[in-house]
Homo-oligomer: A and B are copies of this chain.
Amino acid sequence: MAVANAAVKILMEAPVPEKRMRNRAATEQAILDAAKRLLAEEGFQNFGINAVARGAGCDKQLIYRYYGGLDGLVEAIGADLGSWVKDRIPDDTGGMFLLTYGDLMERLALLFLDALRADPLMRRIVAWEVSENSEQVRRLSEARSKALAGWIERMRGSLTPPKGIDAQAVNAMIFAAIQHVVLSATLSNQCAGLVLKTARDWEKASTALKRIVRGVYG
């Protein structure tokens, strides 16, 4: 029995020569990558110690040792979110000069829409934020909020909103709309009766978004 098991073990491990080395840094990275991949692909529902360890191909004990458990790992994901800003800032303003606050917000809204559509991890985090209120998700939420605020700040330049308009409240509504539309469409290809499947459908959404922004800021 023991002999047979040993034989099986050898046979199983033979075609896997690329065995991970004894390398703490690499293992930590593998764990973090697995966590992000798992969260992005499977969502927060089945996100747990066992699943991450399985995904990283190591023992869960290492997650406790290197990250202090799931909480610490989630925090590490949050820290990684800071890089989101850098990746999403285009070098130029898309060939147009942002003369007015309306120009800026229209561009920000469309950029954010596309960025969120293209980023499954960020989408899962947003969904998590509106579904749970644990300490974990609160820190993650804070990191995302900071990253987003920083992104907007860097894009804003010196433009200021028109007087007489509560831009913070209006912008919150606009960004809320984008987030919910993208989340809803990702899972069900529609939002509030509006089908969002083809590029043509999304054009409609963009147009509506522009119209809303322009309606408020001119």
Contact = CB atoms under 8 A, between A and B. Distances in A.
Contacts of A215: 212, 214-216
Interface of A is mostly: helix
Contacts of A131: 43-45, 127-128, 130-131, 187
A193 B167 CA distance: 12
A122 interface: no
Contacts of A27: none
Contacts of A176: 176-178, 180-181, 184, 191-192
A180 B130 contact: yes
A136 interface: no
A44 B181 CA distance: 21
Interface of A: 43-45, 127-133, 138, 141, 145, 148-149, 165-166, 168-181, 183-184, 187-188, 191-194, 204-205, 207-209, 211-212, 214-216
18 contacts: A43-B131, A44-B131, A45-B132, A127-B127, A130-B130, A130-B180, A133-B187, A145-B193, A166-B211, A169-B204, A170-B208, A170-B211, A176-B176, A176-B177, A176-B181, A176-B192, A177-B180, A215-B215
A194 B172 contact: yes
A157 B123 CA distance: 37
A94 to B, nearest CB: 22
Contacts of A180: 130, 176-177, 179-180, 183
The 4 closest A-B pairs by CB, nearest first: A215-B215, A177-B177, A169-B208, A180-B180
A145 B190 CA distance: 11
Contacts of A165: 211
Nearest to A164: B211
A19 to B, nearest CB: 37
Contact of A129 (B149, B178, B187): B187
A149 B127 CA distance: 24
Contact of A132 (B166, B169, B187, B191): B187
A137 B50 CA distance: 26
Contacts of A148: 192
